Structure 1
Amino acid sequence: MNEEQDRDRMPTGAVSTTNGPITGVEQNGVRCFKGVPFATARRFAKAISPVAWAEPRRCTSYGAYAPQPGHLDHADENACLSLNIWAPAEADRALPVLFFIHGGAFVTGGGADYDGSFLAAHGPAMIVTINYRLGPLGFLQLHRQGLAEANNLALQDALAALDWVRDNIVNFGGDPDAITLSGQSAGASLVIALATLPQAKGKFARALALSAPGRNIMSADHADNVARRVLDELDLAHDPAAIISVPLPKLFAAVERVGRRLADETEQGTVFGPVLDGSVIPREPRDVFADGSLRDIPLWLGSCRDEMAMFLKSTPPAAMIRTTERQVRTAFGDAGWCRLLSYYRATARLDEDPYEALLSDAFWHRPMADLARLHAAAGGAVWLSRFDHRPALEPFLSQGPTHGADNACLWAHLPNFVDRPILKREGGPMTPADIDVAARFQASLLRFVTSGAPDVAEAWPRFEPRSEPLAIFGQPFHIVPLNDGARARVWAELSAGNNDKMRETG
C-alpha cells in the first residue's frame, strides 16, 4: 500500500466482541478488521475460545499464517486461528454475510490472500475470510492413536469461526441469519462437509462451492493408514503422543515423503481432507444432501473449464492425475477408458487437450453435477456454473481457465487483479474482457449472498432434473444443456453398463 492510500486509512471506533473490544481501519467507506482471533489451540487439540481482553485490541494487520510449506521456521501454530472482516461503514440495514474458506490442497493458503473490501463495498455485504489449521496440524487423524481430540480439526476450526461470526457479526452491521458458506477448492470441500454437520444446522442460509474436488470426503480407514505411515516415518509408532513435540519442519517433511508414496500405492492417492470419522462428520455429506436435510439451503456449485491443466503442468504432475485415470479405468475397464479418450480426441476444440478435458470431467465437473442432481431431486434450489474465461494473468494466461481462474476474478478489485501474498502471485491490470466477465461473476455472487439466487430465473434457471442448465461465464454469459453431445452420451452408456454389471453380480 502506498503512502497516499495509507493516509486515507482512518482508525475505527471500538467494536465489542465476545472476547473483548477491537478496532480496525476505515478506507473508502469500508471498515476492515484483520487478524481477529476467534480461537486458539494446542497442537492436535480442539480449538477453544481465546483468553479475553479488556482494552481495545488493534486488528489492522493479517494474523499469523497457519503453518505450511514455506512458512514453518517462524510459525506460531497457537496463534493462527484468526479471521478478517470487511464491513461497509454506512448501511441502513443489517447486511448479508459471505463467510469464505480458502483453498490450497488442505496444506497451503490463508485468509490474507483475499481482500474483501471491493466486494463489501459493491454488495453491500459483509465479507469474512478465515484461517484454519493446515496439513498434518489440521487433518492428520490421530484420535485412534491416543490423541482423543485429533480428528477433523480443520473442520472444527471452521465451525468455531462460524460460531464466532454468528455471535458477533451483528455488532459490525451484519445479519447472523443471512450467512453464506463459501469456499474454493479445498475450501469448497470443507463447505460441503460443514454444511452437513448437525452442529452447523441453522447457522447459515446458503452455500457456494467453487471447484470442489470429486471426492469431498475421505474414508476413516484411509485416514488411519495415513496417520500410521506418518508415525512410522517419524519412528513414533510406539509413542504416538510424542508427535506433539516434533519440530514443524520435521513433521511436514515426513508428511511430504508419505504423500509421495501414497500417490503410487493407494487408490485414493491423497493425504488429507475431511474424514468420515463417525463423530465430527457422522454421515457421508452427499447422503445428507440426497435425503433432503438441506433442501431449504440454496446451493451454487461452480467449476472451471480446464481444471486439470494446472495439475498436468506441475512438476512432477500432481498425484490426482494418476489416481483419477486409475479410478476411471477401475470403473469402466481399460476398454472403457480408451473409448472415452477416443471420443474426447474426436470432439476436441483446436486449443483443447483431450486427456486434460477427460480428467477434468472425471474429477471435477461430473461429481459437481452429481451433487447438483442430488440436491435438486431432494427439492433443493441449486445452480450449476462453469467458468470458461481465460484471465489475462498467470498462470491462466498460459494455461487457460484452469483451477482458480474464477477465484482470481471473484476477488479482483476492478479494474485490477489483486496480489496473493501467500501464493506469491502478483496481481495486475485487467483487460476489458476480464472486467466484463469478472463484473458478471461478482454480481452473481453478491446477488446470491443477498437473495439466495445468483440471477433472475429467465437469465439463469435453477438446475432441474429434466433440463439441467449449465451457466457459462465467458463472453457472452450464456446457458447450455449440461448433458449435450457425444461425450455425455459415452459417459452415460458406460455408467449404465457398469450399473448393469453391479446388479448382475449383486
Structure 2
Amino acid sequence: MIRRVLGLAAACAVAAAVLAAPATRAAADAGPVVATDKGKVEGVATDLGRVFRGIPFAAPPVGPLRWKPPQAAAAWDGVRPATEHGRPCAQNGSPFMGRDQVTNEDCLYLDVYTPARASGNLPVIVWIHGGAFAYGSGTTYDAQRLAAAGNVVVSINYRLGVFGFLAHPGLPAAEGAGNFGIQDQQAALRWVKANAAAFGGDAGNVTIAGQSAGSGSVCSHVLSPSSRGLFHRAVMQSGPCQLVARTLPDAEATGTGLAQEIGCATAECLRGRSAAELLDATAPAEGESALSLSFAPTTGTPVLPKPAADAFPAGEYAKVPMMIGTTLHEASTLLLSSGVEGDPDSAIVRAMTNAAFACPARRDAKVLEDRVPVHMYEFTEPNVPSVYATPPELELGAYHGAELPLLFDFPLRPIDLNPAQERLAATMIGYWSRFAATGDPNGPGLPAWPAYRPVIGKVQNLHADGVTNVRDARYYTDHTCAIWDNTAGLPDIPGTE
C-alpha cells in the first residue's frame, strides 16, 4: 500500500504542450540569446521576463540508450531557437493529463525562466514535476511569476514509468536500473551547474523543488550520494520522504513480470519492443486507479543506497535547509482518480490524508530538524479552482496540488484566482523566493514563519483569509498522528487492491 500512495502524484499533472523539439538555425533575428555550454539559444521576451524553452540537457535516450544512464547532449552550431517546449516523455493517457498515450522517448529537455534583467547571481530553483513517476511534463508549469520575483527557474522533464524506473536482473543496478529517471534529473542538475551563470543564476545557490512525485524525487536527491553538491536547498510539497522505499528485489520482480507478460526472457528483448507495447503492458487495468504505482525510485542501489527511514536517523543525507509541506485534503484527488467522489470532509479522505501525507511529513520534519533548518507548512485554502479536468461544481477542498496555481500558471488550463488568493500567491512566492535565496522563508513584508520544532514548534497555515501558524502539538492532534505514527496499516485506495 505504501508504494501505491506515491502514485497520487499523477494528480498534480495537468495538460502539457505537445510540441516538437526545435531545430538549429544559423542566426538569431529576435529575442534574447544566451550561450550555453553546447551552443547558443534564442528565447523569447515576455511582459514578465525571458523564457527559453526546449533546451536539451542530455542525449535522446532512444535505441541502445533506452535504460542506460543519460548521455551528454550534442553541441550545435549557430543559434538554436528556444521558443517551443520539448515534447513530453512517453506515458499512458490518464484522467489528469487529458491526452492520449504518448510514445515519444526523445524528451530530455528543460525550460528556463528568468527576470527581464538577470545579470546578477540570482538564486536558481529547479522544478521537478509530479505525476506518479509515470505521467506529466515540466512544460506544464509556466514559472514566469516565480522568476519575476528574482529567481532563475528551470523546469525539467525526466523519463517516466517503465522507461524511467524499470529494474530487471538483466539491467545492472550499477548503471542505474530502477532509477534512470532520477539519473535524468541529476543530469539536469549538472546542466544547471554548468549553465546557471549564463542565465543570470548562481550555480552555488540551487534549490530543488517538487510536488508529489516531484517531491519524492527531491527526497531521492536528498538521500542520493551521487546528488551531493548539485543543490543547496530542498522544497518537498506533498510527497513525504518516508514513502520513497521501493526495494531492488521488489523492483526486479516487477520488471521480470513485465518481461514475461510481453514474451521477453531478457532485457535486450525488452529493449527491442516498441514504446507503445511497453506502455500498453503497464497501463492500469480496467477499474484500476491510474494512481497505482508499479515504477518508482528504487532503494538498495548505488543511486539510492537506503530508504529515508534508515538514512535519516543515521544522518546519511544532504545537510541542506528544507521546506516540507502538505495540503489539508490531499486524498480527495486520490479517490477522484478511482472514480469515487472525494468529499473533503469524509472520514476516508481525512484518514488517507493523515496516514499518507500529514503525519509522514511531520515525521520527516521531526527527524530532520535537529540537523538542518526545517520550515513546515500546511496549505488549507479550500477554494482554489481545480487544476484537473473535473466538473466545476465538484468540491475537492484543499486538494492534492491546490497550491500549484498560486506558484505557477497553466497556459493550457488557465486558472483565475480571486483577490484574496492572489494575495496569498504573492505571499507564497515571497516565501519560496526568500527560501531559495537564503534557506529561510522569512523576509520583509512576509508574515513570520518560525522554524519547525517538535511539540513546541509551529506549522505555517497557508490560507487566503490570512497566513497564521499552529503549534505542532495541535497539528499532531488534529491529524490523529498518535494513530498513524504507530501503525503500519494505511487505508486502501479504492481501485488499487
* TM class, shorter-length: 0.7 to 0.9
Does the residue aligned with 1:479 lie in a helix, a strand or coil?
strand
1:341-360 superposed matches below 5 A: 352-360=345-353
1:107-146 superposed matches below 5 A: 107-121=134-148, 123-142=149-168, 144-146=169-171
Q: Equivalents in 2 of 1:370, 1:240: separation in Å?
A: 39
Does the residue aligned with 1:124 lie in a helix, a strand or coil?
coil
Where structure 2 has 5 or more consecutive residues not aligned to the other structure, the ranges are: 1-16, 18-28, 94-98, 489-497
Contact 1:229–1:258 under 8 Å retained in 2:
no
Aligned to 2:433: 446
Contact 1:211–1:302 under 8 Å retained in 2:
yes
**Do structure 1's residue 304 and structure 2's residue 293 form an aligned pair?**
no
- Judged with a 3 Å threshold, the aligned counterparts in structure 2 of structure 1 residues 50 and 486 are, in CA distance, closer, same or farther, namely closer
**Do structure 1's residue 16 and structure 2's residue 1 form an aligned pair?**
no
1:171-320 superposed matches below 5 A: 171-213=198-240, 215-236=243-264, 238-256=265-283, 270-294=293-317, 296-316=319-339
1:24-35 superposed matches below 5 A: 24-28=43-47, 30-35=49-54
Q: State the AA in 2 paired with 1:405.
A: A
- Judged with a 3 Å threshold, the aligned counterparts in structure 2 of structure 1 residues 355 and 290 are, in CA distance, closer, same or farther, namely same
Contact 2:329–2:344 under 8 Å retained in 1:
no
Q: State the AA in 1 paired with 2:320.
A: I
Q: State the AA in 2 paired with 1:68.
A: Q
| Cα distance, 1:17 vs structure 2 | 1.6
Contact 1:147–1:241 under 8 Å retained in 2:
no
Does the residue aligned with 1:399 lie in a helix, a strand or coil?
coil
Larger radius of gyration: 1
Q: Equivalents in 1 of 2:102, 2:138: separation in Å?
A: 18
1:27-106 superposed matches below 5 A: 27-28=46-47, 30-40=49-59, 41=61, 42-70=65-93, 75-77=103-105, 79-91=106-118, 93-106=120-133
**Do structure 1's residue 164 and structure 2's residue 191 form an aligned pair?**
yes
Q: Equivalents in 2 of 1:430, 1:458: separation in Å?
A: 21
**Do structure 1's residue 405 and structure 2's residue 402 form an aligned pair?**
yes
Contact 1:382–1:463 under 8 Å retained in 2:
yes
Contact 1:15–1:22 under 8 Å retained in 2:
yes
**Do structure 1's residue 492 and structure 2's residue 479 form an aligned pair?**
no
Aligned to 1:383: 375
1:434 to 405, 421, 443: 421
String of CA shifts for 1:205-236, please: whole Å, max 9, x gaps: 10001000551221112211211211121111
Q: Equivalents in 2 of 1:293, 1:485: separation in Å?
A: 28
Contact 1:373–1:465 under 8 Å retained in 2:
yes
**Do structure 1's residue 372 and structure 2's residue 349 form an aligned pair?**
no
Contact 2:344–2:397 under 8 Å retained in 1:
no
| Cα distance, 1:483 vs structure 2 | 2.9
| Cα distance, 1:295 vs structure 2 | 6.9
- Judged with a 3 Å threshold, the aligned counterparts in structure 2 of structure 1 residues 494 and 19 are, in CA distance, closer, same or farther, namely closer
| Cα distance, 1:103 vs structure 2 | 0.2
Higher-helix-fraction structure: 1
- Judged with a 3 Å threshold, the aligned counterparts in structure 2 of structure 1 residues 50 and 283 are, in CA distance, closer, same or farther, namely same
Does the residue aligned with 2:270 lie in a helix, a strand or coil?
helix
Q: Equivalents in 1 of 2:484, 2:245: separation in Å?
A: 24
String of CA shifts for 1:78-103, please: whole Å, max 9, x gaps: x2000100122324521000100000
Contact 2:377–2:462 under 8 Å retained in 1:
yes
Contact 1:259–1:271 under 8 Å retained in 2:
no
| Cα distance, 1:272 vs structure 2 | 1.7
> What is the count of residue pairs matched by the alignment?
441
Q: Equivalents in 2 of 1:494, 1:25: separation in Å?
A: 49
| Cα distance, 1:427 vs structure 2 | 1.5
Aligned to 1:464: 453
Does the residue aligned with 2:35 lie in a helix, a strand or coil?
coil
Per chain length, whose mean CA-contact separation is higher, i.e. which structure has more relative contact order (CA < 8 Å, sep 6+)?
A: 2
| Cα distance, 1:487 vs structure 2 | 4.4
Does the residue aligned with 2:460 lie in a helix, a strand or coil?
strand
Contact 1:295–1:380 under 8 Å retained in 2:
no
- Judged with a 3 Å threshold, the aligned counterparts in structure 2 of structure 1 residues 135 and 221 are, in CA distance, closer, same or farther, namely same
Contact 1:289–1:295 under 8 Å retained in 2:
no
Give the fraction of aligned pairs with identical amino acids, expressed as a percent. Answer: 28
Aligned to 2:491: none
Q: State the AA in 2 paired with 1:15.
A: V
- TM-score normalised per structure 1: 0.80
Q: Equivalents in 2 of 1:249, 1:241: separation in Å?
A: 17
- Judged with a 3 Å threshold, the aligned counterparts in structure 2 of structure 1 residues 93 and 179 are, in CA distance, closer, same or farther, namely same
Q: State the AA in 2 paired with 1:133.
A: R
- TM-score normalised per structure 2: 0.82
- Judged with a 3 Å threshold, the aligned counterparts in structure 2 of structure 1 residues 204 and 73 are, in CA distance, closer, same or farther, namely closer
- Judged with a 3 Å threshold, the aligned counterparts in structure 2 of structure 1 residues 463 and 487 are, in CA distance, closer, same or farther, namely closer
- Judged with a 3 Å threshold, the aligned counterparts in structure 2 of structure 1 residues 172 and 241 are, in CA distance, closer, same or farther, namely same
RMSD: 2.9
Q: Equivalents in 2 of 1:365, 1:74: separation in Å?
A: 33
- Judged with a 3 Å threshold, the aligned counterparts in structure 2 of structure 1 residues 99 and 257 are, in CA distance, closer, same or farther, namely closer
Contact 1:463–1:469 under 8 Å retained in 2:
yes
Contact 1:119–1:125 under 8 Å retained in 2:
yes
Where structure 1 has 5 or more consecutive residues not aligned to the other structure, the ranges are: 2-9, 322-349, 413-417, 499-506
Q: Equivalents in 1 of 2:271, 2:476: separation in Å?
A: 54
Q: Equivalents in 1 of 2:356, 2:136: separation in Å?
A: 22
- Judged with a 3 Å threshold, the aligned counterparts in structure 2 of structure 1 residues 497 and 283 are, in CA distance, closer, same or farther, namely closer
- Judged with a 3 Å threshold, the aligned counterparts in structure 2 of structure 1 residues 74 and 211 are, in CA distance, closer, same or farther, namely closer
String of CA shifts for 1:410-449, please: whole Å, max 9, x gaps: 114xxxxx33x4xxxx213221222122222111111111
Q: Equivalents in 2 of 1:258, 1:73: separation in Å?
A: 15
Aligned to 1:326: none
Contact 1:139–1:154 under 8 Å retained in 2:
yes
Q: Equivalents in 1 of 2:32, 2:292: separation in Å?
A: 50
Q: State the AA in 1 paired with 2:442.
A: D
